[in-house]
Amino acid sequence: MRDHLETWSQHLKYGRDVSPHTLKNYRSDIEDFITFLEVDYFAAGEGQGVKPGAVDTPAVIAWLGHLNMRGSAGSTISRKLSALRGFFRFLRRQGVIDSDPARVVTQRRKRRKLMPHLTEIEIGEFLRAPDPGKPTGLRDRAILELLYATGIRVGELVALDVEDLDSRARLVRVLGKGSKERIVPLGQPAVLAVAEYLEAREGKKATAGKRAMFLNNRGGRLTDRSVRRLIKKYVDQLALNHDLSPHAIRHSFASHLLSRGADLRVIQELLGHVSLSTTQKYIHTSMSQLKDVYDKAHPRA
């Protein structure tokens, strides 16, 4: 199965243009399943090899039970099952197996929790947290301002080059998932914060291949992990909800736009979502806001 995993990985990378992060997770999920089969289900010993045709639906169900016993989160199990389905669909299309053992297996859905986000007041405090008097303060402020102004993902942010920003038109070109390009507007505070940072870093040697917008202390392109660390630093500094992830800024961007009257499909376009249902997960609308909109809009409210 490991040989087929390598073939599937190449298909995802070059045929489906899956992001490196997603590809890494999918490979890890299938490797975990194969190890379970070798060590626990068939007890043949790790590395002994299991043929795809030997895997049946009970083996998949047993793996899900193993993950539950291991304490894996429901969202993690769902992702792993999704990866496994994709793997077996590929094997069936390639004629490696006659039937898909994961096709009829489902993961019981749990009630979806609201994604954490910041209020407008908290966002204001958050954006003011970096110290512009420190070497990295201007950069960090520009990063936070740009994330909130555009709602872009952290991975999209670190991929930005200086040429992607049109300061005069207040637009930024973003390369999203699946290499899909979109143009996102941004406000004047974000434009000024980025301009101030770029002016301050003039003369700093850039080792990044392209003119990366955000650099680390060595002059290389800032990484996704570094941005996540600096965001956590300011979350801790302000004693905000410690469960907040970098995505909380993206969630806040969408929620604040909706609460101020933005159309949901416009928000979908700004976030770069293919499906409107994905956008709806980012929205936090209070019952009072819903009633207010209803009272104003419905002819017999």
Catalytic sites, residue numbers: 153, 177, 247, 250, 273, 282
Longest dimension (CA), the chain: 70
What is the full DSSP assignment across 63-85?
Answer: HHHHHHHTT--HHHHHHHHHHHH
Place of tokens 């660390």: 229
CB 188 within 8 Å of CB 196: no
Secondary structure (3-state) at 88: helix
Beta-carbon-side half-sphere exposure of residue 271 (alpha carbons within 13 Å): 28
Scan for tokens 């955000």, then name that residue: 214
User: Is residue 265 classed exposed, middle or buried when 0-12, 13-18 and 19+ CB atoms within 10 A define those classes?
Assistant: exposed
Among the listed residues 63, 53, 51, the one whose alpha carbon sits nearest the alpha carbon of residue 3: 51
Rounded Cα–Cα distance for residues 199 and 226 (Å): 22
**In degrees rounded to 5, what are phi and psi of residue 90?**
-65, -45
Q: Give CA–CA dist 132/196, Å, rounded.
A: 10
Q: What single-letter amino acid sits at 222? A: L
Residue 52: CA count within 13 A, CB half-sphere: 23
Bin 86: left if φ > 0, else alpha if -120 < ψ < 50, else beta: alpha
